């Protein structure tokens, strides 16, 4: 059987959509991607071993294992003749930074991690002749999504879980692609107050998770907990949230109610894992019982919550504030080490790579 031709089929001059080619190491893997795109987006599918000649497509979606040396070699060969200004979206099984580095070294222009939805995949493709937003724009998109999520809860509703998942996926992909330092710099440039904090916590938490080799659904759940951890602040008066000085008396009582308010807004949200909801409620609890809202101790605090709490404290310390000097990451990490008895110190020690090097 002759190898499939990779020349563009006749395309109507009225079509402004680019030709999309799915380049897969396995037919079954490529077929799954094709099914995700259809019927909204049409794409051709070719198996990597069957490629002969140059690829003639404006967009290539790579669905192949980047752990296999022969596959990597074949991808380099095939993509060598593909225009460098074209879109190459790599789908990656797992969230390891080494796979991201490998994808970009082969020629990726963007990456998306499994598991992902067709909606997420389609959003990363060019439409009407326009390229997808560059990775640096993801911070702005994520901030706008957070505003919408908070607004829905401020009105007494529950957040759109699909939107929260999509936002979390974007944050994970961005942190993996540009690194935690790049993420922190972008967030500080574009956001302040509650949204700066939430985006910092999300970036710090998912980077910490990747450093602990947390992958797949577990990493997404960690990201969801980080994205939603302060959702209860949507019900706290702005004058309390934005107060420059320390809170006192009734103000502090109201503020310290935000974890429980967040939990209540998520309690009946179908599809949200229990440990994610618990992390929203418990992220200010401390191992010695000195936290709030329930003064939980030790074993009553879940593993996911312990990671979120470390990310939350660290992000609070390194936030850029109008009336105060931004604390360095090294100083913030030292403060975490001084919280023995409150934070799980083996986790804090493991957090050192994220805090200082990534």
In this structure, the answer to whether residues 117 and 164 fall within a common structural domain is no
14 occurs within a structural domain: no
Q: Please tell me which residue, 346 or 165, carries the higher pLDDT value.
A: 346
In this structure, the answer to whether residues 127 and 192 fall within a common structural domain is no
pLDDT tens-digit map of 37-68: 988 888 999 999 988 877 888 899 999 999 88
- Residue 248 is part of which domain span? 136-356
In this structure, the answer to whether residues 115 and 242 fall within a common structural domain is no
204 and 314 Cβ atoms separated by less than 8 Å: yes
C-alpha distances out from residue 111 to 106, 114, 135, 173, 278, Å: 12, 10, 10, 7, 30
Considering its fold, how many domains does the chain have in total? 2
172 occurs within a structural domain: yes
C-alpha distances out from residue 137 to 88, 94, 164, 300, 327, Å: 18, 23, 17, 39, 25
Choose the final residue of a domain: 109, 132, 155.
132
In this structure, the answer to whether residues 218 and 298 fall within a common structural domain is yes
Provide the percentage of residues in the chain whose pLDDT is more than 90. Answer: 41
Among 110, 117, 12, smallest CA distance to 61 is for 110
**Quick check: helix, strand or coil at residue 254?**
helix
CATH number of the domain bearing residue 83: 3.40.50.2300
In this structure, the answer to whether residues 151 and 125 fall within a common structural domain is no
In this structure, the answer to whether residues 77 and 149 fall within a common structural domain is no
- Give the pLDDT score at 128: 56
DSSP 8-state class, residue 8: P
Query: pTM of whole model > 0.75?
Result: no
**Spatial separation of the C-alpha atoms in residues 204 and 175, rounded to whole Å:** 9
pLDDT tens-digit map of 292-310: 999 999 999 999 999 999 9
Find tokens 């949507």 and name the residue: 234
CATH number of the domain bearing residue 167: 1.10.3210.10
């Amino acid at each position: 059987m002759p190898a499939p031709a990779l020349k563009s089929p006749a395309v109507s001059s009225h079509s402004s959509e680019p030709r999309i080619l799915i380049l897969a190491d396995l037919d079954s893997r490529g077929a799954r991607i094709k099914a995700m795109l259809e019927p909204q987006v049409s794409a051709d599918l070719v198996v990597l071993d069957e490629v002969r000649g140059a690829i003639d497509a404006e967009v290539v979606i790579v669905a192949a294992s980047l752990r296999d040396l022969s596959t990597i070699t074949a991808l380099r060969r095939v993509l060598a003749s593909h225009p460098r200004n074209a879109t190459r979206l790599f789908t990656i099984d797992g969230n390891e930074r080494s796979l991201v580095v490998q994808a970009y070294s082969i020629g990726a222009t963007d990456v998306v991690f499994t598991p992902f939805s067709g909606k997420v995949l389609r959003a990363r493709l060019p439409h009407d002749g326009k390229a997808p937003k560059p990775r640096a724009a993801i911070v702005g998109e994520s901030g706008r999504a957070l505003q919408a999520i908070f607004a829905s809860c401020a009105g007494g509703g529950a957040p759109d879980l699909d939107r929260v998942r999509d936002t979390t996926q974007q944050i994970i992909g961005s942190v993996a692609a540009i690194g935690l330092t790049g993420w922190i710099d972008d967030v500080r440039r574009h956001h302040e107050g509650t949204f700066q904090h939430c985006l910092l916590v999300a970036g710090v938490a998912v980077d910490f998770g990747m450093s602990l080799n947390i992958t797949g659904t577990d990493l997404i759940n960690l990201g969801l907990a980080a994205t939603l951890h302060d959702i209860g602040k949507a019900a706290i008066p702005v004058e309390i949230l934005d107060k420059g000085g320390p809170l006192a008396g009734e103000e502090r009582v109201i503020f310290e109610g935000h974890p429980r308010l967040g939990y209540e807004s998520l309690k009946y949200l179908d599809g949200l894992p229990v440990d994610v909801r618990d992390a929203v409620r418990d992220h200010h609890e401390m191992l010695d019982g000195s936290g709030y809202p329930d003064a939980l101790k030790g074993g009553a605090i879940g593993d996911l919550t312990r990671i979120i709490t470390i990310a939350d404290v660290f992000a609070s310390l390194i936030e850029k504030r109008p009336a105060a000097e931004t604390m360095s990451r090294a100083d913030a990490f030292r403060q975490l080490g001084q919280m023995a008895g409150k934070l799980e110190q083996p986790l804090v020690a493991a957090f050192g790579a994220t805090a200082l090097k990534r």
